[in-house]
Amino acid sequence: MRRLSQDGSITLFAVIVIVPAVILAVFISEVGTRAMSIALLEHRLRVEVMNMAASFNHKLLEEYGIFGVSEGEKTGEVDVVLSKSLGEQENLKSAILAVGQDQAGVVAVERVLGKLKAIVGYSGEAEEVLDTVNNQVGEIASQSVSSVIGKNLPDINLKEIVQGVWNLATALGENWRTVDWTWAWSQNGQINVNGILEQAKTYFEEIQRWNIKEEATNSVAYTAYVMTYFNWYGHSLSRDAVLPSSEAEYCAFGDTTGSLNIIYSFEEIYKARTAVNFVDYLVTLEIPEPETLVICAAVLALLAATTDVISLMAGNAVPLSPHLEMVETDYEDYLIMFLLMEPSRFVLGRIGDVINMNLKDQGNLTLDKYYIKILAFQDGREYSYEYR
């Protein structure tokens, strides 16, 4: 009986203690194996994603500061999906903003932003001056210009002014002739005083309407990006380009003929310099008769603007305005101003155009074939990476 009792105790102990322990051990082993399997799978997914991320286009990053991966050969073991194409405006926007907010580029743009704000402040007074003279004079006949100049500015030779403009046009090439200059010159080659007055009013009205508050961060970042990664007149980068000397100008004006964008840039500078100089002379010339004052101011403004633009073309700087000689501006400053004043959505779209033109020209994939998000998944597990 005692022996049976002992055997019964052992059996009971096995049922109560040993068997559950074995079951628990098997369960823990299976859980551990499952956990290990999941860990290995997640590791494999992570490795797959990071390997894909490491295969980004180095040239795209080096030349344009943009990260992007393209569809490559798949191993077949792990499913990989690429998304958020750089061809989509919102994704390109994020990429350009990330690069364009680099401090060095932004500081350079903000320096010019201060000069632009100075012109905005000046424009209110300028509009008042122009309104006053506009109310005082009527239509000015072209034949009266020569006689007024002869009496009041005997040292000014109108033919020399015409020759200076012609030299400027020759330097900028044949496309200069495509620009409408009737605001400055009448069809018979006479200075268009009324046109200069109207153009000056238009310029300062546009300056007054400009408002950097809307999308200020985007405008500054896009402009900083363009001036860092793109070519412009007088500044060429050591890379292939469809528009080798006018990528930034294209972003400001949007013409597919590169040389025309340079012409448009200098045309706008010419108008700006004429307007600023014109108002300055209206204020500083001591001529009591309104019509004579307007004619003399217009002629001197056109002469000064021609000299200013030729100087800027040569890479020199000119005063922001004749009475603000301590603040100088160069061609880069004006180009930055044009970019800041252009709607930011247009600038962003043209940034993508420039990059795509160059990629296609070199036989590479375009931006719509590059992606910034990678997702790998298998057996219900996934791992993703997005470049920010």
- Residue 76: left (phi > 0), alpha (psi -120 to 50), or beta? left
Q: 377: phi > 0 → left, psi -120 to 50 → alpha, else beta; which?
A: beta
Residue 251 predicted with pLDDT over 90:
yes
Mean of all residue pLDDT scores within the chain = 83
| Whether the predicted pLDDT of 333 surpasses 90 | yes
Q: What is the pLDDT of residue 318?
A: 93
Percent of the chain with pLDDT over 90: 39
- Rounded to 5 degrees, φ, ψ at 288 are -75, -30
Report whether 80 contacts 52 (CB < 8 A).
yes
Q: Judge whether residue 14 has pLDDT over 70.
A: no
pLDDT value, residue 226: 96
Residue 226: CB atoms within 10 Å = 29
Q: Is the pLDDT of residue 89 over 70?
A: yes
pLDDT of residue 1: 45
pLDDT digits (tens, 9 = 90+) for 265-316: 999 999 999 999 999 999 999 888 999 999 999 999 988 998 899 899 889 9
Query: What confidence category does residue 213 fall into, taking pLDDT thresholds of 50, 70 and 90?
Result: low
Task: Give whichever of 75-79, 210-214, 299-303 has the largest mean pLDDT.
Answer: 299-303
Packing angle between helix 158-172 and helix 142-152, nearest 10 degrees? 110
Question: What's the confidence (pLDDT) of residue 122?
Answer: 85
pLDDT surpassing 50 at residue 2: no
pTM (predicted TM-score): 0.84
